[in-house]
A and B are shown apart, each in its own frame.
Chain A
Amino acid sequence: MLNSDQKDIFREIGNIGAGHAATALSTLLGKPIEIEVPSAELESFTTIIDRVGGAEAYTAGALLRFSGDIRATLLFLMPLHDAEKLIGQLMKSEFQFFSDSHEMGVSAWEEIGNILIGAYARSISDWLDLSLQVSVPASAFDMVGALLEVALLESSTPGNMALYIDTHLSSAGNELTGHLLLLPEANAFQTVFQRLGVDIDG
């Protein structure tokens, strides 16, 4: 678990990322969007699965990989109906996955994921002074347990933990929930905490 200093730093990274993301998304959607970060914490996968509604919760996922100074995976998750609302705003019409406009919606979702995750990535790399390259996004729409497995494979951290940023998006009267997971590869966890000025063994 993070101590209160670590939590503050991590939450600040989340807030700054959210600020970047809100600006970029507002531009994309052509209307103001606010993003808040109610919590940022190091969490176990079991807790994260509970927070996103259980292993079978129908969820939209977007995933990017970092390379450079550290290797890590960033996964953004949103309940499917929330994702449909957000995509609907972008496409300026009602949207549902697996309808005729599915492919267009998937592109829109990947673009949203790219912007959101990219914004957080920039905040992380600024705060931690890390040089990071970000991959193109991949997306999936399925049970959240199945989506999270991809992340489990990447991280060999003790107890299967991830840095977890809770996000609330509000736009045009819609309140949307998102979950951002940062999953550093084995050695990257150490680098992240060293850059945070935290002795993880102490």
Chain B
Amino acid sequence: MDELIRIGIAEYAISKQPVILRTAGLGSCVGVVIYDQERGLSSMAHVMLPDSAISRNREAEIGKFADTAILEIVKRLRANGALRLRAKIAGGAQMFQFKYEHESMRIGERNIASVKDMLQKTGIPLVAEDVGGTNGRTIEFHSKSGRLVIRTVNVGTLEI
């Protein structure tokens, strides 16, 4: 069994070994997996917010924002020799349905848009996604096979 690395909210991890990367209870947050399967490099981030412009302490909060997390991870993967990076993403749900909520509160949708925008800017193809909806997700990436397993409590398990 490959090593299991757990990633908490606003954290990320990078591995050069065969590994299982796991993050539990994604709601409006987005789990971003960026990997180079041929070279055995993999990563996962649990991003909370779309844009680091609001951050007061950007150095300490790299993993919290879609823009800073993706830039940092891509930089480090490439420094380790990554040539053919691909991405899979999951999350960005809206957990509570508010009756009178402002559009700007739809943080899940904004997280998804920002993640996709950053992947495009860094030239990384998005090969699979399971985003939006109203369900929480626990995701597990198996770096050897490139499988991303997505578990929900209300609609079962999915693999992308």
Contact = CB atoms under 8 A, between A and B. Distances in A.
Contacts of B24: 54-56, 143, 145
A120 B108 CA distance: 29
Interface in B65-114: 93, 95-100, 107
Interface string B1-32: 00000001100000000000000111111000
A196 interface: no
Contacts of A135: 100
A16 B124 CA distance: 55
Given A143-B136, A146-B25, A146-B93, A138 B98 contact: yes
Contact of A150 (B9, B95, B152): B95
A143 B9 CA distance: 14
B98 A146 contact: no
Contacts of A98: 154
Interface residues of A, number: 27
A147 B28 contact: no
Nearest to B108: A149
Contacts of B152: 142
A46 B6 CA distance: 14
B115 interface: no
Contacts of B150: none
Question: Interface residues of B toward A: which range?
Answer: 20 to 34
Nearest to B28: A149
B127 interface: no
Chain B at the A interface: SS class: loop
A150 B25 contact: no
Contacts of B8: 46
Contacts of B9: 45, 145, 149, 152
Contact of B96 (A46, A58, A150): A150
B48 A142 contact: no
A45 B25 CA distance: 13
A29 to B, nearest CB: 25
B116 interface: no
Contacts of B138: 55-56, 143
B25 A61 contact: no
Nearest to A62: B96
Contacts of B136: 142-143, 145-147
Interface of B: 8-9, 24-29, 48-49, 93, 95-100, 107, 134-138, 152-154
11 contacts: A55-B24, A61-B96, A63-B96, A98-B154, A138-B99, A143-B27, A145-B26, A147-B96, A149-B27, A149-B29, A150-B96
